[in-house]
C-alpha cells in the first residue's frame, strides 16, 4: 500500500515570522472549499469551537529569505508539507488546495504554484530512526515545555501519543514508547494568534527541538505517529517527522 503526503508550493514576497496560523488558515480554507461539512465537523461542536486535536501535522520550508522586523522576506518558493493518517481528510485537503489559486491572510498573500502528492516511508520495525521536518514541542503536566533530556520527556511523550492514537483509532498505545535523542537542537518559536495581534502579552515563545532521534515502540503505533505527528501543537506546524536512514 502506498502512503502519501501533500506538498503545496506557494509564492509570496513576504510572510510573518509567526507564520504558523497563516498556514493553519490555508489548510482550513482548503478543507472548507472541498467539504464544508467536514470542516464544520472538525473545527466546531454545535455552536462552539471544537478544541479536540486534529489528525494532521505540517511543516513549512523557506529558501532564499531574510528577516526584516517581524517578517520573512522571501525570494524563492515556500513549501508546505501536510501529513495525516486520515485518508479522507487528506483527500478533502488535497482537492481544496487544487481550487485555491491565492490566499489572503491579513496583509499577506500566498499564490499557489502547484500541489503534489509525495511518497512517504513508514516504519516496519519496532526501533526506528527519525528526522524532524518541523520541531517537536513537548510539555509536562504543569504545561511547561521540556527538553528531550528531561526526566519527564518520555512520560509526556507517552501521554500525548496515547491521546493522538485514541483520538484517531479509538485505542491508545499498544506498547510504551521510548524516545532516544541523537542530535536534537533547541529552536525557540515565536507564535502569536491572529485574533490577538494587538496584545503583546499574547506572544508565546515555544521551546521546541529539531534534529534526529530514535523511537522505540509497537510498529503500528509508530506508523500512525509518523503520519499524525509527534508531541503537542501538531496542528499548528509542530512535530512533523520522517523516517531517517542515518
pLDDT one digit per residue (tens) for the chain, 246 residues: 567 899 999 999 999 999 999 999 999 999 999 999 999 988 887 778 887 889 999 999 998 899 998 899 999 999 999 999 999 999 999 999 999 989 999 999 999 999 999 999 999 999 999 999 999 999 999 999 999 999 999 999 999 999 999 999 999 999 999 999 999 999 999 887 555 454 445 678 899 999 999 999 999 999 999 999 999 999 999 999 999 987
Residue keyed to cell 523516517: 243
Q: How far is residue 2 from each of residues 40, 120, 228, 242, measured CA to CA in Å?
A: 29, 8, 16, 15
pLDDT of residue 204: 84
Domains of the chain listed by start with CATH number = 4-119 (3.30.70.1890), 127-243 (3.30.70.1900)
C-alpha cell at 212: 534526529
pTM for the model: 0.93
> Half-sphere exposure of residue 7, counting CA atoms within 13 Å on the CB side?
11
Residues in the chain: 246
DSSP classification of residue 145: B
CB contact at 8 A, 70 and 93:
no
Can you spell out the DSSP letters for 197-223? TT-GGG-EEEEEEEEEEEEES-HHHHH
pLDDT of residue 52: 80
pLDDT of residue 231: 97
pLDDT of residue 67: 93
Amino acid at each position: 500500500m502506498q502512503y502519501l503526503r501533500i506538498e503545496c508550493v506557494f509564492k509570496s514576497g513576504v510572510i510573518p515570522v509567526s507564520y504558523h496560523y497563516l498556514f493553519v488558515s490555508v489548510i482550513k480554507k482548503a478543507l472548507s472549499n472541498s467539504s464544508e461539512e467536514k470542516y464544520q465537523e472538525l473545527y466546531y461542536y454545535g455552536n462552539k469551537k471544537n478544541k479536540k486535536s486534529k489528525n494532521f501535522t505540517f511543516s513549512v520550508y523557506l529558501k532564499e529569505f531574510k528577516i526584516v522586523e517581524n517578517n520573512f522576506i522571501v525570494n524563492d518558493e515556500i513549501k508546505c508539507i501536510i501529513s495525516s493518517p486520515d485518508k479522507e481528510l487528506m483527500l478533502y485537503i488535497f482537492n481544496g488546495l487544487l481550487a485555491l489559486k491565492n490566499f489572503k491572510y491579513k496583509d499577506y498573500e500566498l499564490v499557489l504554484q502547484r500541489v503534489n502528492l509525495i511518497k512517504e516511508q513508514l516504519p516496519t520495525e519496532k526501533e526506528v530512526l527519525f528526522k524532524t521536518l518541523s520541531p517537536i514541542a513537548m510539555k509536562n503536566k504543569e504545561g511547561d515545555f521540556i527538553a528531550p533530556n528531561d526526566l519527564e520527556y518520555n512520560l509526556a511523550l507517552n501521554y500525548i501519543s496515547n491521546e493522538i492514537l485514541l483520538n484517531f483509532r479509538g485505542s491508545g498505545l499498544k506498547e510504551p514508547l521510548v524516545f532516544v535523542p541523537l542530535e536534537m537542537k533547541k529552536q525557540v518559536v515565536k507564535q502569536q494568534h491572529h485574533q490577538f495581534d494587538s496584545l503583546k502579552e499574547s506572544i508565546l515563545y515555544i521551546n521546541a527541538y529539531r534534529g534526529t532521534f530514535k523511537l522505540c515502540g509497537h510498529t503500528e503505533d509508530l506508523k500512525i505517529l509518523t503520519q499524525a505527528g509527534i508531541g503537542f501543537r501538531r496542528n499548528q506546524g509542530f512535530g512533523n517527522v520522517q523516517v531517517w536512514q542515518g
